Amino acid sequence: MGMKTFEQLDETLHFEELENGLKVYVLEKKGFNKTYATFTTHYGSVDNHFKPLGKNEEVKVPDGIAHFLEHKLFEKEHGDVFQDFSKQGASANAFTTFNRTAYLFSTTSDVKKNLTTLIDFVQEPYFTEKTVEKEKGIIGQEIRMYDDNPDWRVYFGLIENMYHHHPVKIDIAGTEKSIAKITKDTLYECYETFYHPSNMILFVVGPVNAQEILHFVKENQSQKSFKEKAPIERFFADEPPAVAKTEKIIEMTVQTPKCYIGFKEATPKRKGKELMRHELCVNLALEMMFGKSSPNYEALYEEGLIDQTFSFDYTEENGFGFSMLGGDTQSPDELVKRVSNMVEAFKQDNISTDSFERARKKKIGAFLRSLNSPEFIANQFTRYAFNEMDLFDVIPVFESLQASDVEEVLQNHFKKEAMTVCQVRKKKS
């Protein structure tokens, strides 16, 4: 059993890797009512081409299957697991991202009972042809709900523009057509491969006793048998650094157009501290260029090209990475022109120490603020861990960065040929 204290943050993290490979983390949060637990597999929408556990042939599975599996794990022979949680006063949920599927609950009572329910339901799949068919109607409506959401459409449109082959461009939920091909057998195949304990992390945060929780989870796992752990073979086609498409316009029934500008990362192969430094640097660069206290933000706002919906972010995982910025705008083409000129001008200039320091302070404050949230801690810690990073290194890494580090990412990441644009515009009647 391990323990790591982050003195500056007044937090102690307990962890242990069990015999079957499952990694368990517990963070005690005194004074909170709520305990929040996530059970996450390192498996998401991009993992659609792999070698199933114990087989020699690689397979390609239908788009949207990781998300479909997430829905179906909740259904058991005795009924719906949501009900088991709510009988125990907990609310449960789950979500699927590009490379994670997380199952979670939050509760203010019966932590151990709920923890057992969480671990057991994820580790005991029950798929039948009938229940798989029934789910297609529900997920079909979920897909349509997203189809009507212009923010989602513009976000995904931008990612589609960037990638030639990488499956990050596939909508997480798939399409009504692709999910029609899902059967109980394909679900089991994905499950067997990706839900092995050695591919998963359990994170518990709340007013708990860490030793007790670790012991309890160990006990639960020791009563179950699992196949020998084996590395998972996933396949991704080679992705060229240039964008697949430089522009796309989607017409929808909206009043205000939306416009996002993306920069595709050319070498998204980093891991660990290197990835953390890079992510934080690109985010600092964005903050300095377009943060609310920047001259660029002020100019764009004053010219009426952006409003309060304007935002930006950089994200990178194994195999893909991109920054995006934008929001609602009355003049999308003008916004694109201005932003790309601003990026170019910023690259020419020297970085001011003042604005570097200010951006860093802002980011450190924002990070401290997010540590108020047990949800943030559990979800982000898991995401970082899958990429061999430690969430609690964020502040020391921020403090170790120099303006010259930002200079470097400015030149390497924000390249003209890496830029692409996606707009949602008002449909002409």
Q: Which residues are catalytic?
A: 70
CA angle 370, 376, 381 (to 5 degrees): 110
82 in contact with other proteins (CB under 8 A) = yes
- The rounded distance, in Å, linking the Cα atoms of 94 and 197 is 18
For other proteins, the binding residues in 138-197 under the rule CB under 8 A are: 138-139, 141-142, 144-145, 147-150, 153
Work out which of 50, 182, 374, 383 binds other proteins, going by CB under 8 A.
374
Interaxial angle between packed helices 129-147 and 184-194, expressed in degrees from 0 to 180 and rounded to the nearest 10? 80
Residues touching other proteins, count (CB under 8 A): 78
Cα separation, 47 vs 181, in Å, equals: 17
Q: Using CB under 8 A, which of 5, 108, 222, 353 touches other proteins? A: 108
The verdict on 112 binding other proteins (CB under 8 A) reads: no
CB 373, min distance to other proteins, A = 8
- End-to-end, the C-alpha distance of the chain in Å comes to 65
Q: Using CB under 8 A, which of the segments 13-21, 233-241, 313-321, 370-378 binds other proteins?
A: 370-378
- Paired with 251 in beta bridges are 425
With contacts defined by CB under 8 A, name the span among 224-232, 266-274, 355-363, 404-412 that binds other proteins: 355-363
Query: Quick one: which of 16, 291, 331, 407 contacts other proteins (CB under 8 A)?
Result: 291
Closest approach, Cβ 123 to other proteins, in A, equals: 21
Taking a C-beta distance cutoff of 8 angstroms, is the pair 25, 99 a contact?
A: no
Which residues lie closer than 8 Å to 60 by C-beta, 6 or more apart?
48, 49
4 in contact with other proteins (CB under 8 A): no
Dist. CA 116–CA 122, nearest whole Å: 10
**The one among 30, 78, 130, 416 contacting other proteins by CB under 8 A:** 30
Find the binder of other proteins among 292, 337, 341, 345 (CB under 8 A): 292
Cβ proximity to other proteins, 11 vs 16, nearer residue: 11
Rounded distance, CA 236 to CA 349, Å? 38
Stretch 197-216 residues interacting with other proteins (CB under 8 A): none
Q: Which of 325, 231, 319 is nearest to 275 (CA)?
A: 319
> According to CB under 8 A, which residues from 295 to 354 bind other proteins?
295, 297-298, 301-302, 304, 307-309, 328, 330
Question: From the CA atom positions of the chain, what is the Rg in Å?
Answer: 23
Closest CA to 232 of 192, 180, 277, 173: 192
Q: Please identify, using beta-carbon distances, which residue of 70 and 317 lies nearer to other proteins.
A: 70
- Kindly state the smallest distance separating residue 152's Cβ from other proteins, in Å: 11
Q: Do residues 74 and 104 make contact, with C-beta atoms less than 8 angstroms apart?
A: no
Site string for other proteins, 235-264 (x = CB under 8 A): ------------xxxxxxxxxx--------
1/249 with CB nearer other proteins: 249
Of 8-16, 193-201, 275-283, 377-385: span binding other proteins (CB under 8 A): 8-16
137 binds other proteins (CB under 8 A): yes
Distance, C-alpha 28 to centroid of its chain: 24
Does the footprint of other proteins cover residue 83 (CB under 8 A)? Answer: yes
Q: How far is the CB of 426 from other proteins (least distance, A)?
A: 9
Task: Among 24, 90, 205, 281, indicate the residue that binds other proteins (CB under 8 A).
Answer: 90
Q: Which is nearer to other proteins, 54 or 365 (CB)?
A: 365
Cα separation of 386 and 200, whole Å?
Answer: 9
CA dihedral sign, ordered 237, 240, 243, 245: negative
* CA pair distance 31, 146, nearest whole angstrom: 38
Amino acid (one-letter) located at 294:
S
Q: Which CB atom, from 151 or from 407, has the smaller least distance to other proteins?
A: 151
Q: Which of 25, 26, 29, 190 binds other proteins (CB under 8 A)?
A: 29
* Paired strand residues for 79: 76
Query: Could you say whether residue 78 binds other proteins (CB under 8 A)?
Result: no
What's the token pair of residue 13?
A: 């993290």
Give the shortest CB-210-to-other proteins separation in angstroms: 18
Q: How far is the CB of 308 from other proteins (least distance, A)?
A: 6
Residue nearer to other proteins on the CB measure, 218 or 245: 245
Instruction: Give the integer Cα–Cα distance in Å for 93 and 90.
Output: 10
Phi and psi at 186, nearest 5°, equal -65, -35
Residue with tokens 């930002």: 406
